[in-house]
Each structure stands twice: as C-alpha cells, then as structure tokens.
C-alpha cells in the first residue's frame, strides 16, 4: 500500500455488487499528494449510471443482510476492526501522503475507526428496545429497532478513515446496506477501507463504493428514490443543498456540518496547559477539523501573557510532509483551500485585526511544491468580525479579549455554529456554568476543542447540523426506525383508551 503512494500512479475502480469495476463512462480523475503535488492514483469519475448500479446492488443485498442476525453482522465488524489493527501503520502512512495529516495524527484517525467499529460491533448484542406494562390486562408491548434500507454515505477528506467508520459501522450492524461516495481528495484511503471490509467477509452488495464528484455522484445518490437515508459530513452550504435535494422524498437526512469553535481562557487558568490545548486544537490537522479552535476568548487580565506564549509556540512549529517524524504542521488539502485561507487573512487585516504571526503561504525547503500555510494568529479581534464568525478551515485562530465570564459566554455563543467549546479555569463553579451555558453539542473543561470519544454522541447545535448525532448509542437513531409491537392474549377485542376509562 505505501509503495503505491510513493512510486507513482495506479488505476483504481469502483466496488459494486462485490466486484471492482470501471466507471460506465470510462472517465477518471487523479488523487494528489498535498505535500508534493504528485499524483497518487487514478480513480473512476463516476456518473449517475454508476450510482444506479451501486444502489441496485445494495437494494438486492439488503433483503438477506437485514435478516442476518445482528450478532452475526457484528462478527463482520469485529473481523474488520482486527484488520484495521493489523494494517494501522500502513493506513497511517498512506494517510500522511494522500491527505497530508501528520503521521501521529493519521495513526489516531485509524485508531478512532478501530474504536468505533468495536463499539458498534458490541451493539450487535445490545441494540436495546423497551418493554413497558400495558394499561390493559393480558396484553404485552415492546419497541424494537428496525433497519431502514440503503444508506447513502457521503464523507469528507479530513478524517478519511475515521468518519466513514462513524457512518458505515453503525449502519451495517443495524442491518442496512451502503452506497459510499468518498471525498474525491482521498479516494485511495476509501478504497483501502472497502478492501478491508471485503476481506472481513462482508457479503457482496452490502457495501458499494462509487468514486467521483459531488455534482455528478453525490447529488444523484441524494436524490435516488431507492436510498431512504443520507448521512453527510461537510460544509453548511452543501448540507443545505443535500436537505433541499432530499426533501421531496421525505428522506431521513443526517448532517454534520461546520463549526466556529471557541476556547475560553479565564484569569485563573493554567496558561501553559491552555497554550498546549490551543495549539493542538487550532493547528492540529492544519486547522482542517470541524472541531478546530478558530476563536480564543481570553480574559483581559491574562490576554497579553497568553498572546505572547501562543505566538511563540506557533512560531516553533515545523512545517513539512506528514510522513516526516519532526513535522508539526502538514499541508492543507489542495490549492483551493490555501487560496481560501489566505483570503481570510486579507479579510482579517482589512477588518482591523492585528496579524500577530503567520498569514502567508509557506515557501523554502521544498514547501513550495505542496500546499503549506504558516500557522496564523490574529489579535485585537472583535466578536462580530468575519474571521470570528465564518469557518476558515485552516491553521488560523483569532484572539478575542473579554472582561468576565458572562462576556466570554456571549462571545462563544454569538455565532451560527454550535459544535465544540472549551474552557480553561480552576474555578469549579465557572466550569459548571460553562457546561450549562455554552450552547454547543460538545464542551471540554481544561482541554481543547478536539478529542471526542466514540461512546458519547458527537454533533452540534444550530447550523452545525440538523439535530442528529454520530457515535455512541445516539448513532443508532440515524440508521434504525422504531417499531412499537402490541400482543394481546386476552382472547377479546380491547380498544385501548376506550376500554380504559
């Protein structure tokens, strides 16, 4: 696997009905190494015809898969998890090349998929419903979870192994089948993901992968009449388009969208710990996380000291290819991203914020071959500025000065997103108020805004999504429907409330 990433271009295919096949139209696209600009592989540029074939295969496979006992479905996931463990190093190496993630972060991405798969495999022997006493004599009642059908899975490039596992593992254990449209920036990682699923003994047609672009594949998948569930992670703007496209058929749509996450640093915070948390949250994965800390809300008493420490920490970071051991910050995903990030630097300067460090495309030492942007910090940022309101998705963060805790809460909540938040404080009362008052789906105390674990629900409020959650037992609600069952063994007609006056 790793030599493919290093030595040159190889042609890959879609996976439909248990077979590796070319796109019907024969067109292809290349996956590019963001650290060097080299091609890593050639992939099918699929169209609606390819989506139709994949959906038909998934629909046919569903009838047998839904009747496979859930513990047996789980056995496939356990085997898959073991294969992920076995191939973890190779997958991490490949991720450092195709996606650009620093090697240690790439290994964490794969570990997250291992953890999620093991957790969801356990649901094969749980997946609990409820039994409740009836209000009438000689009557039994219960609720059970039922699979829904073919699930359209559309994933981003920034967590190319972890996020597919968040969606595919729970969908499979619940008895659904899959048509998987991965990001066009990381198709080889998706290819390996599906190859390992195939090796796990998954029946033909249960998971299918169709490579290609959103407007040519994703939109067709969302609108397909035989796909009742869509799960999508990406930008807010695309999420709105997905919602509109699925609305006419009343599909179940699960959206994980953007974030504009904030870390609060109070006057009693451990500043060294706070700086560590900020650097990891703001610049990890080169800021390309939906949970990245792009706002730092700082009490005025420690603002200057924190600014000095944070700038020094950012300027010590070494940029380079993710596979090199001493790299702190890898490339961003592509040229369009680097242009967007730099455009926000210019916006911040035009708005009157102070550029404290970074703010430029990195060159020298071969960096000009890839898509590198220096870690960027703005000071003197007002909460209403665009750089404090809009998702940049790059290694940029903004320092916002506040007078007290209440002003900090207003700043954190004063954006349209609500994914993750954090506070550094030694005051237990402030910590509990933050847990209550920060209007986000995730809140960390004395840690950064990243680091979610698979057994708690993941997702956000407001424009971060549409209310559904990934991970934990909450994920089952996306991929199952509830059925209420009543068994009357009284031998006579009982009319519920009419006979229970």
Report the pLDDT value the prediction gives residue 499, as an integer from 0 to 100: 79
Cα(91)–Cα(187) distance, integer angstroms: 13
pLDDT value of position 9: 62
Domain assignment present for residue 456? The answer is: no
**Average pLDDT over the chain, rounded to whole?**
96
> Does the active-site annotation cover 174?
no
Same domain, 278 and 165: no
Q: What is the pLDDT of residue 82?
A: 98
If DSSP codes are grouped into helix, strand and coil, which group holds residue 9? coil
Taking Cα atoms as reference points, which of 220, 225, 226 lies closest to residue 248?
A: 225
Tokens (6 digits) for 333: 């995903």
CA dist list (Å): 456 to 246, 359, 451, 471: 28, 36, 11, 6
Is 1's pLDDT higher than 90? Answer: no
Query: Domain of 394?
Result: 261-445
Q: Spot the catalytic one: 256, 346, 351, 360.
A: 256
Say whether pLDDT at 330 is over 80. Answer: yes
The answer to whether residue 500 scores a pLDDT higher than 80 is no
The strand pair at 130-133 and 139-147 is best described as: antiparallel
The answer on 242 and 128 residing in a single domain is yes
The answer to whether 415 and 400 have CB atoms below 8 angstroms apart is no
Give the count of domains, the chain.
2
Instruction: Mark whether 271 and 189 lie in a shared domain.
Output: no
pLDDT in tens, 187-233: 999 999 999 999 999 999 999 999 999 999 999 999 999 999 999 99
- Judgement on whether residues 249 and 301 belong to the same structural domain of the protein: no
> Is residue 492 assigned to a domain?
no
Q: Are residues 408 and 471 in the same domain?
A: no
Query: Do residues 424 and 303 both lie within one domain?
Result: yes
In this structure, the answer to whether residues 270 and 390 fall within a common structural domain is yes
Q: Is the CB of residue 258 less than 8 Å from the CB of residue 290? A: yes
Beta 396-402 vs 376-379: how paired, if at all? parallel
pLDDT tens column, 392-409: 999 999 999 999 999 999
Q: In this structure, are 142 and 244 located in the same domain?
A: yes
pLDDT at 498: 87
Q: Which of 26-30, 32-36, 382-386, 493-497 has the lowest mean pLDDT?
A: 493-497
**219 labelled catalytic:** no
Does 501 have pLDDT greater than 90?
no
Q: What whole-number percentage of the chain has pLDDT above 90? A: 97
From residue 196, give the alpha-carbon distance in Å to each of 42, 77, 86, 133: 20, 10, 10, 45
**414-452 pLDDT, tens per residue?**
999 999 999 999 999 999 999 999 999 999 999 999 999
More reliable by pLDDT, 396 or 5: 396
Q: DSSP letter at 458?
A: B
Residues 242 and 294 in one domain: no
Element (H, E) at 265: strand 261-265
246 part of a folded domain: yes
Q: Is residue 268 part of a domain?
A: yes
Structure tokens at 365: 């030492």
- Domain match, 157 and 291 both: no
- Can you give the pLDDT at residue 497? 86
Task: List the CATH number of the domain containing 360.
Answer: 3.40.309.10
CA–CA dist 333, 339 (Å, integer): 11
The answer to whether residue 392 is domain-embedded is yes
Cα–Cα distance measured from residue 283 to residue 20, given in angstroms and rounded to the nearest whole number: 38
Q: Quote the pLDDT of residue 2.
A: 41
The answer to whether residue 501 is domain-embedded is no
Asked whether residue 369 is domain-assigned, the answer is yes
Is 169 in the same domain as 243? yes
pLDDT at 7 over 60: no
pLDDT at 5: 41
CA angle in degrees (0–180, nearest 5) for 195-201-202: 75
Query: What's the gap between Cα 326 and its chain centre?
Result: 26
CA–CA dist 391, 463 (Å, integer): 12
* pLDDT attached to residue 4: 43
Nearest Cα to Cα of residue 477 among 66, 17, 146, 203: 146
**Catalytic residue (one of 98, 174, 184, 290):** 290
**pLDDT at residue 3, as a whole number:** 41
C-alpha–C-alpha distance, residues 276 and 451, integer Å: 13
pLDDT tens-place string over residues 53-73: 999 999 999 999 999 999 999
Please indicate, yes or no, whether residues 110 and 248 belong to a single structural domain of this protein: yes
Q: What is the pLDDT, as a whole number, of residue 52?
A: 98
Short-list 318, 328, 326, 298, CA closest to 411: 298
In this structure, the chain runs to a length of: 501
Can you give the CATH number for the domain in which 169 is found?
Answer: 3.40.605.10
Whether residue 361 is contained in a domain is answered as: yes
Give yes or no for residue 382 having a pLDDT over 70.
yes
Read off the pTM: 0.95
């Amino acid at each position: 696997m790793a030599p493919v990433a290093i030595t040159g271009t190889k042609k890959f295919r879609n996976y439909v009905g248990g077979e590796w096949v070319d796109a019907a139209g024969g067109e292809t696209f290349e996956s590019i190494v963001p650290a060097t600009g080299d091609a890593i592989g050639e992939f099918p540029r699929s169209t609606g015809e390819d989506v139709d074939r994949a959906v038909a295969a998934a629909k046919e496979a569903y009838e047998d898969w839904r009747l496979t006992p859930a513990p047996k479905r789980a056995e496939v996931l356990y085997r898959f998890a073991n294969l992920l463990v076995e191939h973890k190093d190779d997958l991490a190496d490949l991720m450092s090349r195709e996606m650009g993630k620093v090697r240690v972060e790439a290994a964490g991405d794969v570990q997250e998929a291992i953890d999620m798969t093991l957790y969801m495999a356990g649901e094969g022997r749980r997946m609990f419903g409820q039994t409740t006493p009836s209000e009438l004599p000689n009557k039994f009642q219960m609720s059970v979870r039922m699979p829904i059908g073919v699930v359209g899975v559309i994933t981003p490039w920034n967590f190319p192994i972890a996020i597919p596992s968040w969606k595919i593992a729970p969908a499979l254990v619940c008895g659904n089948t899959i048509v998987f449209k991965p990001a066009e920036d990381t198709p080889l990682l998706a290819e390996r993901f599906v190859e390992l699923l195939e090796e796990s003994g998954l029946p033909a047609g249960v998971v299918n992968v169709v490579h290609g672009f959103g407007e040519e594949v994703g939109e067709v998948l969302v609108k397909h009449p035989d796909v009742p569930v869509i799960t999508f992670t990406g930008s807010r703007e695309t999420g709105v388009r997905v919602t509109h496209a699925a609305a006419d058929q009343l599909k179940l749509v699960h959206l994980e969208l953007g974030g504009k996450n904030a870390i609060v640093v109070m006057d009693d915070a451990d500043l060294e710990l706070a700086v560590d948390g900020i650097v990891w949250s703001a610049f990890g994965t080169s800021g390309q996380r939906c949970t990245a800390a792009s706002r730092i809300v700082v009490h005025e008493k420690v603002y200057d000291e924190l600014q000095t420490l944070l700038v020094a920490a950012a300027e010590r970071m070494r940029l380079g290819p993710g596979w090199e051991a001493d790299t702190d910050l890898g490339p961003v995903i592509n040229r369009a991203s680097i242009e967007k990030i730099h455009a926000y630097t210019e916006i911040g300067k035009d708005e009157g914020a102070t550029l404290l460090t970074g703010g430029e495309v990195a060159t020298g030492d071969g960096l000009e071959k890839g898509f590198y942007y220096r870690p960027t910090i703005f000071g003197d940022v007002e909460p209403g500025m665009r750089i404090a309101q809009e998702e940049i998705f790059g290694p940029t963060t903004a320092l916002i000065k506040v007078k007290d805790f209440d002003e900090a809460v207003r700043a954190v909540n004063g954006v349209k997103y609500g994914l993750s938040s954090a506070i550094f404080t030694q005051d237990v009362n402030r910590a509990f108020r933050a847990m209550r008052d920060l209007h986000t789906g995730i809140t960390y105390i004395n840690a950064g805004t990243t680091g979610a674990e698979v057994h708690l629900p993941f997702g956000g409020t407001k424009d971060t999504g549409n209310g559904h959650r990934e991970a934990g037992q909450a994920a089952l609600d996306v991929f199952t429907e509830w059925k209420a069952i009543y068994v009357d063994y009284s031998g006579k007609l009982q009319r519920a409330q009419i006979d229970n006056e």
